[in-house]
Amino acid sequence: MLLRWLIPKNLDETRDTPPQVYNAQVYWCCLLASSMAVVIGYDSGFTSGMVSLYSFQSEFGIDVMEPLERSQTLERIISLFQAGALCGTLLIYPLGQLYGRKFSFVVITAVLLLGSVLQLFANSENGLWPMYLGRFLSGIGIGSFSNLGPIYIVELSVPSIRGQLVGFYEIAWQIGGVMGFWINYITSVTIDDSQRIQWLIPCSLQLLPPVLFASQLYTLIESPRWLYSVGLTDEALINLCRLRDLLPDDPYIEYEASTIHREHHEKITQVGSSLWDPFRCIFKTHQLRIRLLMSMSLFVMQNTLAVNAVNYYSPRIFQTMGVSSLSASLLSTGVFGVIKGICCLLWSMTIVDRYGRRPCLIVGLVVCALCFTYIGFYIKLANPALGKEPTTVQTPGWEQAGSLHCSCSTYGPCRMVSRGVGHRGFGTRRFSPPTCAPPPAHSTRVPTGRVRT
């Protein structure tokens, strides 16, 4: 019944598709692969709140630092994750191509677990170096998975529901973001500021998604397309039959297997068989260069919307808009995450496969532009951060928070473009550090009450 509801109606398919292909096996593999995106969203949600907690700042003496040193320290914690993610997007390609998707997931999970554990060793005696190293390793794992995860989902999915299955990845991302945004608020109001466990709980919850993913890794099916590419045709056919719930002699299986085989043969003859031949082909072919530029530009554009700045600096940004107290700003970030997740779910499950990627992208860009323009003018003209009592939650601040919540509803659909998933991770991470880790002078509040992002 649930699968029947998930399958879009009026599918535009080029051939007769048996209903068996929309089975629990393909949904399970894609959902499991998407589940690791929870930790990506969780990091973007919990980091800004964790470093704002008094228990964290007092643990490492951040509260007594000069403003410039404080900004540099907090930005290192955030930007090292992005630096590791940038490295991960580059390192995963040879690993995934040579050793397969499933083995690469094992390596990624191990790196994520190591990075998460290292962060827990940071304390007043050891200093912040375990946090720095752990953040960098976690970034490598996340950057690797942000490239390989969608590729694996695309390779397993049926074309008619590909957008929906890739949408699960974004939904998991938003679920993690909601958890990350709220966990800091919960610990801030339930645990005393003097207790170290107040920031340890949000930090330790990073371990949960990799542990659960590792416990179910054995149920994943290796990508038939990758198996065909390395010559394991028999195993590829077996996996394809399992994913489609059909027999090897079924016309649908025969057609899809022959299509994969033909595409692989064309790649060998026209592109080459070495690891780096596809890159040479892309940069030599004008049409492919245009496609690469477009696919990467979409995610570069996403980062220019300042959404990452809101994710990683949300308490500070909400305080600048008039939500002055820490608990109120953490509550605002929690509401921000909830609305972003709900809207992403609605867009991914009901809109993206019915109305197409381009209309969703255009509508999202227009709404985001209007919302952030309104916020910018409000902060510039009203100066809500000036003259406020430290514990007062001002109505205009909540009004602008609503505008941010509206803009975040269009954030998800930009990630639904399934072409170029191998390149978009690098484009995203390459342009994340300038957005998520601005220079210290830009991250501090200036006299007019603005936060420059």
State the Cα–Cα distance between residues 181 and 199, nearest whole angstrom: 13
Q: What is the pLDDT of residues 420-442, one digit of tens each?
A: 444 545 555 555 544 444 433 34
At residue 15 the predicted structure's pLDDT band, cuts being 50, 70 and 90, is low
pLDDT for position 169: 86
Between 349 and 290, the more confident residue is 290
pLDDT for position 443: 42
DSSP class per residue in 321-382: TTB-SHHHHHHHHHHHHHHHHHHHHHHHHHTHHHH-HHHHHHHHHHHHHHHHHHHHHHHHHH
Give the lowest-confidence range in 101-115, 121-135, 396-410: 396-410
Whether 450 is in a domain gets the answer no
Q: What is the pLDDT of residues 198-248, one digit of tens each?
A: 999 999 999 999 999 999 999 999 999 999 988 899 999 999 999 999 999
Q: What is the dihedral of CA 17, 19, 24, 25, to 10 degrees?
A: -40
Q: What is the pLDDT of residues 80-92, one digit of tens each?
A: 988 998 899 888 9
Q: What total of structural domains would you count in the chain?
A: 1
Whether 451 is in a domain gets the answer no
What are φ and ψ of residue 323, in 5° steps? -90, 95
At residue 410 the predicted structure's pLDDT band, cuts being 50, 70 and 90, is very low
Tokens 């880790």 found at: 437
State the Cα–Cα distance between residues 228 and 149, nearest whole angstrom: 19
pLDDT for position 240: 93
CA nearest neighbour of 391 among 321, 324, 319: 324
pLDDT for position 403: 38
Q: 166: which strand partners?
A: none
DSSP class per residue in 185-201: HHHHHHS-TT-THHHHH
Beta-carbon contacts of residue 366 (< 8 Å; ≥ 6 apart): none
At residue 101 the predicted structure's pLDDT band, cuts being 50, 70 and 90, is very high
> Percent of the chain, pLDDT > 90?
23
CATH number at residue 201: 1.20.1250.20
Whether 336 is in a domain gets the answer yes
Q: 123: which strand partners?
A: 127
Over its C-alpha atoms, the chain yields an Rg (Å, rounded) of: 23
Whether 254 is in a domain gets the answer no
Whether 280 is in a domain gets the answer no
State the Cα–Cα distance between residues 133 and 61, nearest whole angstrom: 19
Mean pLDDT within 38-63: 85
Beta-carbon contacts of residue 190 (< 8 Å; ≥ 6 apart): none
Beta-carbon contacts of residue 315 (< 8 Å; ≥ 6 apart): 48, 49, 52, 326, 329, 330, 333
Beta-carbon contacts of residue 294 (< 8 Å; ≥ 6 apart): 420
- Assess contact for 302 and 428: CB atoms under 8 A: yes
> Which whole-number Å values give the CA distances from 52 to 30, 62, 306, 394, 404, in the listed order?
35, 10, 20, 20, 20
Whether 243 is in a domain gets the answer no
pLDDT for position 79: 85
Whether 277 is in a domain gets the answer no
- Assess contact for 56 and 62: CB atoms under 8 A: yes
For the cut 80, the answer to whether the pLDDT of residue 357 exceeds it is: no
| Residue 447 CB neighbour total at 10 angstroms | 8
Q: What is the pLDDT of residues 147-160, one digit of tens each?
A: 899 899 989 988 88
- Assess contact for 223 and 100: CB atoms under 8 A: yes
Q: 127: which strand partners?
A: 123
pLDDT for position 116: 93
Whether 398 is in a domain gets the answer yes
Give the lowest-confidence range in 262-266, 342-346, 357-361, 409-413: 409-413
For the cut 60, the answer to whether the pLDDT of residue 334 exceeds it is: yes
Structural domain boundaries enclosing 85? 20-215+285-443
What are φ and ψ of residue 452, in 5° steps? -85, 125
Q: What is the pLDDT of residues 267-323, one digit of tens each?
A: 888 777 777 777 777 777 778 788 878 777 777 777 676 666 676 666 667 666 666
State the Cα–Cα distance between residues 47 and 314, nearest whole angstrom: 10
